[in-house]
Structure 1
Amino acid sequence: MLTTVLAFLVTIGVLVVIHEYGHYRAAVACNVKVLRFSVGFGRVLWRRQRGETEFVISALPLGGYVKMLDEREAPVHVADQARAFNRKPLWQRAFIVAAGPAANLALAVLLYAVVNWAGVQELKARLAAPVPASIAANAGMQSGDEVLALAPSGGDVPQASDWLPVRSMNDLQWHLTNAVLQSGDLRLQVRRMGQGGAPGETVELLLGTAKLSAADVDPKLMDRLGFSGPYASAEIRRVIEGGPAEAAGLKAGDKVLSLDGREPRDAGQLRQWISQSARDGVARPLAVVVSRQGQSVELSVTPVIKTEGDQRVPRIVAEIGSPVEMVMVNYGALEGFTKAAQRTWDVSTLTLDMLGKMVIGQASLKNLSGPLTIADYAGRSAELGWAYYLGFLAMVSVSLGVLNLLPLPMLDGGHLMYYLFEGVTGRPVSDAWLERLQRGGVAVMFLMMSLALYNDFARLLGMH
């Protein structure tokens, strides 16, 4: 809990400081007098005067602001009028406003680059057996398949330059999300698993991602496609004392060759067979053949019925499955930076695409997250290590930059729309219209925040 709170506060603090610092530096560059640089809102907890600017930390940490000299807010001495924000040329005002979101996007590029250079351990894109009759199963995916590369399926045979390498499970999930949003199928280059886990033949498969719509893009997307998770072999990793597995003589390291005469393809299928083995709610003995130190051993294990949620399922009380394979993903100096810039662009366009589809009802509103979800993921990534946390921080920084560029009053994008109107018509938006738009913007922001908080609580309560 403490890690989650600290990681969340650092996340908000860093992103707010960077955003407001973008506005601040642009204002200074345009010779606008900055009166206050605040991290947070409300009661001031700490303050320090540096030159003509007061730097403060306020009680409510969800945001911040840069207060500039402006005749629309208070009378300005004649000697300072040239340094008032409202007196500056249109392009300078637009530059100052846009500098905040731009700083967030620049930070994301830097953070992604650091992660690319340092490298992170990620799940290998080797998959367990797909769900029967699912999109993945219909494509011909098999247990142990490793996805090496993918390409859009536009009817033509993909050229070598069309294939995008898949270096990890994160890569695969990212490309699958994009494919579903773009309503297109994917071609996959897949390496089969040979005997004893050795690399087998490489085949090309067509994955029907176009069968799903943008409304299906949510945390359960992989389930909808039929992917049941990373591959782990059907072996006993740990036997828990006092359980049926120990009583039957099963030992850690045993490779399960068959269960009641059926050969499990992976750990997921073995777990599924055990959980479905009861008859009329009563556990029955299961014949198990395992490989132990090169020899086959025949055993019989009778699961115990466990209550899990509102279900009663058989369990042998042992950890099943070999450790999943991991791969180090890192890049050289130039490639790491270019991929960081590309990832920032991709996340930005994906965010806008998702928001647009949510507005017109083509994507689920469940994808809108609030501070509780951000705090949860901040804590999880921090526990995994600093590189994972920086990657998370980069993604949130992109989201903050993009959201602030939306043409909504109260956001930077709303002010840029005002300046666009002024540039086209030669006159600023009237005070009456500014007031109406401001009220409308407050209502939209309130609705978005309410929905985001509802989604947060729904996730915490298991409703989503």
Structure 2
Amino acid sequence: MSLSASAHSFLLPPCRPKLGSISSPHSLLRPIHTPPPALQPFLFPRHRRRRRRRGGREGGGHPSAGPTAAVGGIEGPQSVAEAASVLAAIILVHEGGHFLAATLQGIRVSKFAVGFGPVLASFVAGGVEYSLRAFPLGGFVGFPDDDPDSDVPPDDADLLKNRPVLDRILVVSAGVAANVVFAYLIVFAQVLTVGLPVQEPVPGLLVPEVRPGSAAARDGLRPGDVILGINGAPAPSVSDLVDVIKTSAGRNVAMTVAREGTKSVELSVVPDENTDGTGRIGVQLSPNYRLSKVRAKNLAQATVFASREFLGLSATVLDGLKQTFLNFSQSASKVSGPVAIIAVGAEVARSSSDGLFQFAAVINLNLAVINLLPLPALDGGSLALILVEAARGGRKIPREVEQRIMSSGILVVVMLGLFLIVRDTLNLDFIKEML
């Protein structure tokens, strides 16, 4: 029997992080549950180097509409190496969990592999073959149970298949447990070192982007402006401002704007008229936040901060999976493979150290959750077969049936993984420029 963290381990479903609340500056600040901007493209559907406008084509929109960055490029050899190292470490932790759970119980192990397919490099120690393989879609821990050339007697009590159900459950679930623990330790390390990002709301609405030639551009609104007031009243929420613009086509909308280098600017913006009669000015709008870092002062505080952030990231990953299954026809084409993940990881590594921490934590949690799904070739599939055996009163599933189920699952996983590698490689910017 082989336990595999297969290609699904690195297929990232689209998901939407949620903002965490922030308490008073004089009390314990609550770290935000939204990853830093450099990490957000990794948590959202793929795009082809285009900005995703908030709330429609023009006229502003809601902050939950999505990110404005995309995955499309490799950001340099050092950042690529850092991202690839994160993935390699996560695979090692996952498979190391299986390996330790088996060896600590005295269960025989024959192979420990990172990757699938042809062996690129290997060595043998303690009767175990350690190998690096060609396809970076996960890894596996192999047992003599499946090796026809093994000289271990089939009735050996230390073979995995001959161990009680509980022993096998511990081995199968240990990889997931290792990734969950590793994700928490990563967040804990972030709290103690670089700190967690905190968003503190400040007055006004931010204008991240202004479309050239739009009403906003003609009337003097610029990217980076902060709208402090509208028609003599304090700035409303994003949705309220959008409603005002929609109902003011062809009429002046007075705006008080804070601009870098000046105290404030008074503008009069006349929204253009859409075909349906509503107004538009051609901007992005978002709540205005001040980003800061919070670091724990002691281990007790670090535990509180890390636990909050860990739970927030876990909820993000689970929500992403739920949305993927609920909208599978729309989200299936937006799942990212290893190449896209490394591309985003490289961007994260280049832009922010705190983003790299959360990149690693999210990948760990994603790997853990997806591997629990009861699908062939995943840990959840192996666990499901063991639980079926337990429900049958300990009567084992025929070995041939089990092998067919797992082999078909591995074939599908490898084919899907290769497809994603090719697709994501062709979507890289420098590859598209060559074609």
Q: TM-score range by the shorter chain?
A: 0.5 to 0.7
**Match of residue 331 from structure 2:** 364
**Match of residue 105 from structure 2:** 30
Alignment of 1:6-85 (within 5 A): 6-70=81-145, 73-78=148-153, 81-85=156-160
**Match of residue 175 from structure 2:** 100
Distance, in Å, in 2 between the alignment partners of 1:112 and 1:29 is 27
Alignment of 1:445-460 (within 5 A): 445=413, 449=417, 456=424
Task: Tell me the secondary structure at the aligned position of residue 82 of structure 1.
Answer: coil
Alignment of 1:140-289 (within 5 A): 233-235=258-260, 253=261, 257-258=265-266
**Match of residue 291 from structure 2:** 326
Go from structure 1 to structure 2 and tell me whether the alpha carbon gap of 1:455 and 1:62 turns closer, same or farther (over 3 Å shift).
Answer: closer
Q: Does 1:428 align with 2:396?
A: yes
The TM-score with structure 2 as length reference comes to 0.58
For these two proteins, the number of residue pairs brought into alignment is 304
Distance, in Å, in 2 between the alignment partners of 1:354 and 1:430 is 36
**Match of residue 341 from structure 2:** 374
User: Structure 1 residue 71: deviation in Å?
Assistant: 5.8
**Match of residue 410 from structure 1:** 377
Distance, in Å, in 1 between the alignment partners of 2:264 and 2:289 is 17
Distance, in Å, in 1 between the alignment partners of 2:112 and 2:322 is 33
**Match of residue 354 from structure 1:** 320
Go from structure 1 to structure 2 and tell me whether the alpha carbon gap of 1:79 and 1:452 turns closer, same or farther (over 3 Å shift).
Answer: closer
User: Retained in 2: the 8 A contact 1:12–1:63?
Assistant: no
Task: Tell me the secondary structure at the aligned position of residue 83 of structure 1.
Answer: coil
Go from structure 1 to structure 2 and tell me whether the alpha carbon gap of 1:459 and 1:71 turns closer, same or farther (over 3 Å shift).
Answer: closer
Distance, in Å, in 2 between the alignment partners of 1:56 and 1:453 is 21
User: Structure 1 residue 125: deviation in Å?
Assistant: 4.3
**Aligned match of 1:390 in 343, 351, 357?**
357
User: Retained in 1: the 8 A contact 2:183–2:364?
Assistant: yes
User: Retained in 2: the 8 A contact 1:37–1:55?
Assistant: yes
* Structure 1 unaligned residues grouped into runs of 5+: 132-142, 146-192, 195-200, 209-231, 236-252, 264-271, 277-322
Distance, in Å, in 2 between the alignment partners of 1:344 and 1:452 is 29
Deviations 1:267-288 (A, max 9, x none): xxxxx98x89xxxxxxxxxxxx
Distance, in Å, in 2 between the alignment partners of 1:329 and 1:114 is 13
Distance, in Å, in 2 between the alignment partners of 1:86 and 1:367 is 38
User: Structure 1 residue 95: deviation in Å?
Assistant: 0.6
After superposition, the CA RMSD in angstroms is 4.2
User: Structure 1 residue 34: deviation in Å?
Assistant: 1.9
User: Structure 1 residue 413: deviation in Å?
Assistant: 0.6
User: Retained in 2: the 8 A contact 1:12–1:61?
Assistant: no
User: Retained in 2: the 8 A contact 1:48–1:56?
Assistant: yes
Task: Tell me the secondary structure at the aligned position of residue 369 of structure 1.
Answer: coil
Moved over 6 A (4+): 205-208
User: Structure 1 residue 406: deviation in Å?
Assistant: 1.0
Distance, in Å, in 1 between the alignment partners of 2:312 and 2:197 is 22
Q: Which has the higher strand share?
A: 1
Go from structure 1 to structure 2 and tell me whether the alpha carbon gap of 1:19 and 1:365 turns closer, same or farther (over 3 Å shift).
Answer: same
* Structure 2 unaligned residues grouped into runs of 5+: 1-75, 210-224, 241-256, 271-279
User: Structure 1 residue 339: deviation in Å?
Assistant: 4.1
- Residue identity in the other structure for 1:234: R
Deviations 1:284-308 (A, max 9, x none): xxxxxxxxxxxxxxxxxxxxxxxxx
Distance, in Å, in 1 between the alignment partners of 2:180 and 2:343 is 23
The TM-score with structure 1 as length reference comes to 0.55
Distance, in Å, in 2 between the alignment partners of 1:450 and 1:38 is 18
Distance, in Å, in 2 between the alignment partners of 1:79 and 1:457 is 44
Distance, in Å, in 2 between the alignment partners of 1:418 and 1:25 is 21
